[in-house]
A and B are shown apart, each in its own frame.
Chain A
Amino acid sequence: MSFFRKFRKGYNNKPRTDSDAIFSLSSAYITLEIKLGLKSTGRCALSLKSIDGMYFTEMKDDIQRFLNTGKSDVELNSRMVVDSYGYLWMILDGKSMGDILAGISAVGDTIQEKGFSKQLLVAIFEFNNEEKLSNGSTQYLIYNYKSNKFYPFVPFGQKTRNSENEMKIMATIVDEVPFEKDMTLWYPLWDLPF
């Protein structure tokens, strides 16, 4: 009967900040690994709408500098790419989930502190299914900065999605992280620049 209770309870202790929400992944990723065999590839990315202007460039430089100097205590490799929609992607590669969560939330916080929170789109985390590589392999968790919720994205072939795997992800961690339960808002991100 426990699922009834879960259903009623839902996720009601909503985290206050984006960082809180993102850090809720620090336990949820273990659940994903145990229950679905999904392993983090150590890659995550943050995307924001690029604008022209001195302050934006300054903020970019600040983040670049922060990521370069931070290398000593957290092991992260980073690069920046602009995609065809004009979105700037900050791509981080790390060895542990703790490192990439710390990195991505620090980047997000810096952007918000500099007053560009409206430009923030998503943070995206890459996972791989080790056991069933034939079954689509790469799966993503997307954190939407506008709705402050996570949702799954499992691309499958050319611009189609594996809804079954997406629903499995939802079922697995819906109570652990703030999750977007409305599937009509699970907007995909095709042709990721990494």
Chain B
Amino acid sequence: MSIPKTPSWQRRDTGLTARMILSFAILTLLYLVFLGALVYVGLDFISITVIASIMILAQWYFSDKIVLWSSGAKKVTREQFPELHDIVERIVARNSLPKPKIAVINTNMPNAFATGKGPRSSVVVVTTGLMDLLDTEELEGVLAHELTHIRNRDVLVLTLASLFSTVAWYLMQFGFYGGMGYGYGGGRDRNNSGGALILVIVVAMLTWVISFLIIRAISRYREFAADRGSAQMTGKPVKLANALMKISGGMRQVPTKDLRQVEGLNAFFIVPALSGSTIGNLFSTHPPVEKRIQKLMEMEASMG
């Protein structure tokens, strides 16, 4: 059996993800260096906490700018992309939402996302690859999905959720630095405070791991919610399902090889469907495409 060559748009959009991860890694590194410097200078716990919270707030305030900048998205006017503006306007008018700004990334990878602090200052980003790949109704489904993210204030929800993990992370850092300080200082109560510090570190670590998993669970749930919102806005869940199939390269999921050819090969139908391991599911931010399509089709069925 030869595996058909994957067209470029069907591959994972690693470029975009890599850029985002790199930008945020650099930012995190900057924070750490800065906070490390503060600890080194010898500031007390309270002032470091204040500075750290200011930094978190600043990151929140500039988050959409950072995202747009790191993804290379350019805001576009009605003249440049009239059809895209038309579709968004149609959806927001029907559902009485404020119209977000629209940005486009010039790449073959089909992708879309929304960012912004609140419904009024939000940006919906699509790639040129997405517009080439999908027809109007499918694009409408995807845009309605992103608009639901905005309406549900998912950026805010996820930022708040990650606040816990960020705080836990900082606590872990302080625990380490503090531990080292005590270690050098020596003293009578060295054993006692050492034990307490290890406890702090362990608790912080646990908090971080658990909140990491919870954030991912929330994120997956929000994806389903956005799919549902999109279906309600457009009334055509099947179009979004089709778009998801196209974007994920899922057209390959529906086989093209003839049943009579595969039938003799092995016990094809005894093997249970292995659609992603549970561990993989725990860590991913998006639910498996098959699950999303299945839910969308249930909605299509209930609409009659």
Contacts and interface: CB of A to CB of B under 8 A. Distances in A.
Interface of A: 2-3, 6-7, 35, 49, 83, 85, 87, 121-122, 142, 144, 146-147, 159-161, 163-164, 166-168, 170-172, 174-175, 181-190
Nearest to A168: B238
Contacts of A49: 263
Q: How large is the interface on B (under 10, 10 to 19, 20 to 34, 35 or more residues)?
A: 20 to 34
Contacts of A121: 259-260, 263
Nearest to A173: B301
A174 B298 CA distance: 9
Contacts, number: 93
Contacts of B300: 167-168, 171
Contact of B298 (A171, A183, A190): A171
Interface stretch (B31-39, B181-189, B289-297): B289-297
Contact of B254 (A35, A144, A184): A184
B242 A164 contact: yes
Interface in B240-263: 241-242, 245, 250-251, 253-263
The 3 closest A-B pairs by CB, nearest first: A3-B302, A187-B259, A171-B301
Nearest to B273: A182
Interface of B: 238-239, 241-242, 245, 250-251, 253-263, 268-269, 273, 275, 290, 293-295, 297-302, 304
Given A159-B256, A163-B254, A190-B258, 8 more contacts: A6-B301, A35-B304, A144-B269, A146-B268, A160-B256, A161-B256, A167-B300, A171-B298
Contacts of B269: 144, 146-147, 185
Nearest to B259: A187
19 contacts: A3-B298, A7-B295, A7-B298, A83-B260, A85-B261, A121-B263, A142-B259, A146-B269, A164-B239, A167-B300, A171-B297, A171-B300, A174-B297, A174-B301, A185-B255, A185-B269, A186-B254, A188-B255, A188-B259
A163 B254 CA distance: 8
Given A164-B238, A167-B242, A167-B293, A85 B260 contact: yes
Q: Which residue, B260, B295, B299, has most C-beta atoms of chain A within 10 A? A: B260
Nearest to A148: B269
Contacts of B260: 83, 85, 87, 121, 189
A184 B250 CA distance: 9
B273 A167 contact: no
A167 B299 CA distance: 12
A143 to B, nearest CB: 12
Contacts of A187: 255, 257-259, 262
Contacts of B239: 164
B290 A183 contact: yes
B298 A185 contact: no
Contact of A183 (B254, B268, B301, B304): B254
A2 B303 CA distance: 10
A163 B294 contact: no
Nearest to A182: B273
B15 to A, nearest CB: 27
Given A35-B304, A183-B254, A190-B258, A163 B298 contact: no
Nearest to A35: B304
B3 to A, nearest CB: 14
A188 B238 contact: no
Nearest to B295: A7
Contacts of B256: 159-161, 188
